[in-house]
Amino acid sequence: MKQLFVLDPIKFINPSKDSSAALMEAAHRASLEVWVCTPADLQANGDNAGVIASKVNPDPWISIELAQNIALNQFHCIWMRKDPPVDEAFLYATHLLEVAEREGVLVLNKPSSLRAWNEKLGALRFSQLMAPTLVASRVDELKKFAMEHGEVVLKPLGGKGGQGVVRVANNSPGIPALLELVTAQETLPVMMQKFLPKVTEGDKRILLVNGEPLGAINRKPKAGDFRSNLALGGQAEATELSASEIKICEQLAPFLQRDGLFFVGIDVIGGMLSEINVTSPTGIREVENLMKIPLGDLVIKKLLENFS
């Protein structure tokens, strides 16, 4: 049984931290063939999808065989694990993967859902679970929201890893200029949310597999910052799910299952949903190290149980 991982170039992957590496190693332990490619390696000849891919042995990390031109229908499962941004190249890759879907190949996460579930905007489907949130381009509307809520957080819709996220008080003298900047002079929408002080206690990353929460970590901001993203120096710690967090997962599960979002990472602050990460969710290594849960193996086991 073959699995293909569509990734950023393999040389940039740090196996001690990367969730894709954890999944590849788990697939190898399950006696599955592991292949890798980048989005640029995908192709379609008419309605026949193909790829220039290399078979790899990820344990020990990593031996790579010569690339081959191979039909995508030769793979049982294709993992789309290219990191954001969700740019033109990413979107075209999802369309090429849909050619493989038409040939009966399982693609995770489902390409059409990767396009439909923007990692910021997707959470709006569950706005009752979120802090007060506005998505807008107009400076006056954003200013009005900030004045109403006192202290807010601005998030670019295409951002990742906490990059570009700004905390703003409603009495900051430079708010209009800042809003003009982040909206590119009112041409791009941004997300503005009421600031949740509980973020100082941590931002919980919960990993759901086919809608079921199988692992979580709490990420605490480094001193002097409110952003808890590990890529920005946040510290991961062991955690357990609260009753309200379990309820959030239960409410999301049927929608994730319906839309083919098999492996998802949600972020929860103070019992409130913040984001739904669907492109290349991270956190497997931290769960494995801190919680002593073999999460990579559990993901592959769930995959084989549900789709074999």
User: Phi first, then psi: what are they for 47, rounded to 5°?
Assistant: -100, 25
Q: Give, rounded to a whole angstrom, the gap between the first and last alpha carbons of the chain.
A: 10
* Beta carbons of 299 and 5 less than 8 angstroms apart: no
Residue 227: active-site member: yes
Residue tagged active-site, from 82, 110, 204, 219: 219
Residue tagged active-site, from 160, 218, 277, 286: 277
Residue whose C-alpha is closest to residue 304's, from 15, 27, 22, 20: 27
Residue 219: active-site member: yes
CA atoms within 13 A on the CB side of 199: 22
Residue 102: active-site member: no
Residue 120: active-site member: yes
Residue tagged active-site, from 18, 101, 267, 288: 267
Residue 275: active-site member: yes
CA distance 291 to 239: 8
Residue tagged active-site, from 245, 275, 286, 288: 275
Residue tagged active-site, from 82, 194, 205, 285: 205
Residue tagged active-site, from 82, 110, 155, 160: 155
Residue 2: active-site member: no
* Beta carbons of 7 and 279 less than 8 angstroms apart: no
Cα angle for residues 231, 206, 135 (degrees, 5° grid): 75
Residue tagged active-site, from 82, 110, 120, 160: 120
Residue tagged active-site, from 227, 245, 259, 286: 227
Catalytic residues, which ones? 120, 155, 205, 219, 227, 267, 275, 277
